[in-house]
Amino acid sequence: GAVVSQHPSWVICKSGTSVKIECRSLDFQATTMFWYRQFPKQSLMLMATSNEGSKATYEQGVEKDKFLINHASLTLSTLTVTSAHPEDSSFYICSARPRDRENQPQHFGDGTRLSIL
Q: Rounded to whole angstroms, how far apart are CA atoms 38 and 28?
A: 25
Within residues 53-82, the interface with another protein by CB under 8 A covers 57
Cite the beta strand spans of the chain per DSSP E: 4-7, 10-13, 19-25, 32-38, 44-51, 57-58, 67-73, 76-81, 90-96, 107-108, 112-116
Give how many residues touch another protein by CB under 8 A: 23
* Of residues 46 and 82, the one with the C-beta less far from another protein: 46
Options 14-22, 66-74, 79-87, 109-117: segment touching another protein (CB under 8 A): 109-117
Catalog residues that contact another protein under the rule CB under 8 A: 32, 34, 36, 41-46, 49, 57, 91, 93, 95, 102-103, 105-106, 108-111, 113
